[in-house]
Structure 1
Amino acid sequence: MNNADLLSIAKQFGGPLYVYDAEKIKFQYNRLSNAFSGVKNLKLNYATKALSNISVLSYIQKLGAGLDTVSIQEVRLGLAAGFEPHTIIYTPNGVSLNEIEEVAALGVQINIDNLSILEQFGSKYPKTPVCIRINPHVMAGGNSNISVGHIDSKFGISIHQIPHLKRITENTKMNINGIHMHTGSDILDIDVFLHASEILFETAKHFKDLSFIDFGSGFKVPYKTGDIETNIEELGERLTVKFNEFCKEYGRELTLAFEPGKFLVSEAGYFISKVNVVKQTTSTVFAQIDSGFNHLIRPMFYGSYHEIENISNPEGRERFYSVVGYICETDTFGSNRKISEINEGDFLSFKNAGAYCQTMASNYNSRFRPAEVLWINEEAHLIRKEETFDDILHNQVVLDFSELI
């Protein structure tokens, strides 16, 4: 997909707009699969929270993926998209026992990350297969907001609680069929990830009836030219050796599972918005677009970088702009960026907008959430309509104040 394709889509559907390149998703899926081709049993469970459009889920299911979910709503989306229950893993955090029971009743693989719920669930449903999420106490990510495997994280059961964990599983005679960890996004150092995997292998030795070990994900993708990314090929080569050696020691061929989200869809996504105003102050030239952090919150939420291109004038003379939104708070997408000369009415494209962009969108300022388009086989297909004012009002209830005041 190139800028000409994006501009054509922008002119067809207008902006703001999310666009996803199916071929890029497929490329990333195959890249990860090939990196671990030396593993006999590999399962890639796509992390729904990254991008949950049902057409995207259905496409990824056709590639052969399973599904990683964190809520019963995501589970139901997966089932609606065509995933079989046994291909879905459910890894919530801090949810009620009732929700976990509802998901288990659907036949989905349960993954529990705290001792309290583990004991309650095991006491009531000892025969139901359960995976256990371990906190390896490893800081593998570069951003504290998305690094979830460190010692102060709310996620997972601490490796220091293994004795308590074993006591619960032995007392309840639970069916523990998997061990899981997730260190968080933006893995910068393969050696740190491999160190965490050794901790997971040691934990797995405490459980004799495992069928899989889930290493989570969090592989870093590049956000600009020359940016660092996780070397998937090297990780695949080195972790494959370790995993196969462990399976021999364990005495059984286990499944190696991952939960790629951002890795599969981030680079496949583009966010397109139109420039409303070019405004010059004493020191800055602002390009003010018809969007804000209600549609793309990541730069404001945790300082993510999105490369910005003027797809209406890609060959124009480069100038420096601060690209900002229309929200009545500071919503800066990029400061002092070198971009081809911008005129009012031009379309700008934000790269790496496939993961955690639409799924984190809101109706702040009562603005509509944009449409979504999937680019597949050189054609643009609408996969979500732009919201309307009726959508804003749909679940609101207007009181009759003549009877209340």
Structure 2
Amino acid sequence: MSTLSHSELKQIAGEYGTPVYVYHAEKITEQYAKLKNAFSRSNARIFYACKALTNINILKHINAIGCNVDCSSINEVHLAIRAGIEPANILYTSNGIAFAEIEDAVAQGVAVNIDSLSNLEKFGRKYGSGYPVGIRLRPNIMAGGHLKISTGHEKSKFGISIEQLDAILSLQKQYDLRINCLHIHTGSEIKDVEVFMKVADIFFELAPHFPHLSYLDMGGGFKVPYKESEQGTDIDLLGEKVGEFLEKINAAYGRDFQTWFEPGKFLVSECGYFVTSVNVLKQSGHTEFAGINTGFNHLIRPMFYEAYHRIENISHPEGAPKHYAVTGNICETDTFAWDRELNEVREGDLLVFYNAGAYGFEMGSNYNSRYKPAQVLVINGQSHLIGRRDAFEDLLRNQVEVL
């Protein structure tokens, strides 16, 4: 199992300063191997949902291990191409975007999923049967670890409601659309394998309506364990059930369907470590605050949807256990953990946040005019700076002084 040791993290913190995001390339490779093994009996294809972490070096590593890429914006498409990924291995799933982005994606030669009747009609008018297209459906299934990361329920903005199937079929007929992919992504942090099999049941019912259908995209959202006591999605069980489903649907319709999956967090969450330093200790009533040199400008997940990150004091692992509120340095309430047991914390100690590879740096900002942290990639035992820490000039880079 690929992990970085305390000593390695301390060495990186000493060399590059804190706060710093550290990524372990071998862990990404390990996670991808788990997926490939789990789906080895299935005709399955894996696309890394790169919105989780788009550093160009991460994308290059993803390409090097043979993984495809799923994009959520046209800029992610261009980043993937810049990283050397072939357009045939890139999927662009649009979400409430201007049609010009879809035109750009088609010009790049990537696979496209469309999530609105409006853009589907525009696509039909412009391309007709000349370019294959996928449809993102909303199945009205509630799934995921938090409402903010549930995308398949009836009030979600994502996808075309399954209740509008007649309208989709009408456009398919009117423009002779080659709808080759059906896509359903119900949310994130999905532990129950049966959620994916509900999606499979929907695909089974819909398949006869789409004569060009080849790809059944079940999205991503695999549960990643953040606490030591948690269990993630049983990927092996999912692979077994998907294999059985493919045998069933292939036999029923005389076709050779392929399933697609779009994991983001599963591939990069556990590869990431966020190393911070303790600025101050402050006692207030029964609460002892450990104030660190970061905030939700660098890691917003705990404030955004109450996400849990395991935290360790890697400078003083032999210290007696005590309870702390771990807080940031932003002029907002940016509490990472209340009443968290840590080995005794001292000012200057290094605290590491685990599972920091997904949606950490990617959702960062310069709020309070603070610098974004450095990013470091460890590969083959060597650390490499892959994203420099902001400097003062970066705060002004896109500003235009007129006064």
TM-score (norm 1): 0.97
Amino acid corresponding to residue 273 of structure 1 in structure 2: T
In the alignment, the residues of structure 2 paired with residue 302 and residue 390 of structure 1 have an alpha-carbon distance, to the nearest angstrom, of 32
Secondary structure of the 2:7 match is helix
Does structure 2 retain, via aligned residues, the 8 Å contact 1:373–1:383?
yes
* Among candidates 390, 394, 399, match of residue 397 of structure 2: 394
In the alignment, the residues of structure 2 paired with residue 238 and residue 362 of structure 1 have an alpha-carbon distance, to the nearest angstrom, of 41
Does structure 2 retain, via aligned residues, the 8 Å contact 1:134–1:158?
yes
| 1:241 equivalent in structure 2 | 244
Secondary structure of the 1:359 match is helix
In the alignment, the residues of structure 1 paired with residue 400 and residue 204 of structure 2 have an alpha-carbon distance, to the nearest angstrom, of 53
* Among candidates 171, 177, 186, match of residue 168 of structure 1: 171
1:186-201 to 2 correspondences below 5 Å:
186-201=189-204
Does structure 2 retain, via aligned residues, the 8 Å contact 1:140–1:193?
no
| 2:110 equivalent in structure 1 | 108
User: Which whole-Å deviations, capped at 9, do the CAs of 1:116-159 have from their partners, x for residues lacking one?
Assistant: 11011111111111011111111121211001011111111111
Does structure 1 retain, via aligned residues, the 8 Å contact 2:303–2:334?
yes
How far did 1:244 drift? 2.4
1:1-400 to 2 correspondences below 5 Å:
1-39=4-42, 41-126=43-128, 127-400=130-403
In the alignment, the residues of structure 1 paired with residue 76 and residue 232 of structure 2 have an alpha-carbon distance, to the nearest angstrom, of 28
Does structure 2 retain, via aligned residues, the 8 Å contact 1:15–1:370?
yes
Amino acid corresponding to residue 397 of structure 1 in structure 2: V
User: Which whole-Å deviations, capped at 9, do the CAs of 1:16-69 have from their partners, x for residues lacking one?
Assistant: 000111111111111011111001x32111001000000001101111111100
Does structure 2 retain, via aligned residues, the 8 Å contact 1:181–1:214?
yes
Amino acid corresponding to residue 77 of structure 1 in structure 2: L
Bigger drift between 129-138 and 184-193 goes to: 184-193
Amino acid corresponding to residue 234 of structure 2 in structure 1: N
How far did 1:394 drift? 0.8
In the alignment, the residues of structure 2 paired with residue 281 and residue 71 of structure 1 have an alpha-carbon distance, to the nearest angstrom, of 45
Structure 1 residue runs of 5 or longer lacking an equivalent are 401-405
Does structure 2 retain, via aligned residues, the 8 Å contact 1:272–1:350?
yes
Does structure 2 retain, via aligned residues, the 8 Å contact 1:321–1:339?
yes
User: Which whole-Å deviations, capped at 9, do the CAs of 1:225-265 have from their partners, x for residues lacking one?
Assistant: 11132111111111211122212223222221110100100
User: Which whole-Å deviations, capped at 9, do the CAs of 1:177-212 have from their partners, x for residues lacking one?
Assistant: 111110110113212221122112222221111221
How far did 1:284 drift? 0.7
Bigger drift between 215-224 and 189-198 goes to: 189-198
In the alignment, the residues of structure 2 paired with residue 50 and residue 11 of structure 1 have an alpha-carbon distance, to the nearest angstrom, of 27
Q: CA RMSD in A?
A: 1.0
In the alignment, the residues of structure 1 paired with residue 351 and residue 218 of structure 2 have an alpha-carbon distance, to the nearest angstrom, of 37
In the alignment, the residues of structure 1 paired with residue 72 and residue 159 of structure 2 have an alpha-carbon distance, to the nearest angstrom, of 13
Instruction: Give aligned-pair identity as a percent.
Output: 52
Secondary structure of the 1:326 match is coil
In the alignment, the residues of structure 2 paired with residue 210 and residue 193 of structure 1 have an alpha-carbon distance, to the nearest angstrom, of 19
The runs of at least 4 aligned residues of structure 1 exceeding 4 Å deviation read none
In the alignment, the residues of structure 1 paired with residue 81 and residue 190 of structure 2 have an alpha-carbon distance, to the nearest angstrom, of 30
Amino acid corresponding to residue 92 of structure 2 in structure 1: Y
In the alignment, the residues of structure 1 paired with residue 250 and residue 66 of structure 2 have an alpha-carbon distance, to the nearest angstrom, of 24
Secondary structure of the 2:134 match is strand
Secondary structure of the 1:205 match is helix
In the alignment, the residues of structure 1 paired with residue 202 and residue 180 of structure 2 have an alpha-carbon distance, to the nearest angstrom, of 17
Does structure 1 retain, via aligned residues, the 8 Å contact 2:191–2:234?
no
Amino acid corresponding to residue 235 of structure 2 in structure 1: I
Amino acid corresponding to residue 106 of structure 2 in structure 1: A
Length, aligned pairs only:
399
User: Which whole-Å deviations, capped at 9, do the CAs of 1:154-181 have from their partners, x for residues lacking one?
Assistant: 1111111111110111110011111111
How far did 1:110 drift? 0.9
| 1:403 equivalent in structure 2 | none
In the alignment, the residues of structure 2 paired with residue 201 and residue 382 of structure 1 have an alpha-carbon distance, to the nearest angstrom, of 47
In the alignment, the residues of structure 1 paired with residue 380 and residue 210 of structure 2 have an alpha-carbon distance, to the nearest angstrom, of 46
Secondary structure of the 1:224 match is coil
Structure 2 residue runs of 5 or longer lacking an equivalent are none
Does structure 1 retain, via aligned residues, the 8 Å contact 2:196–2:218?
no
Secondary structure of the 1:145 match is helix
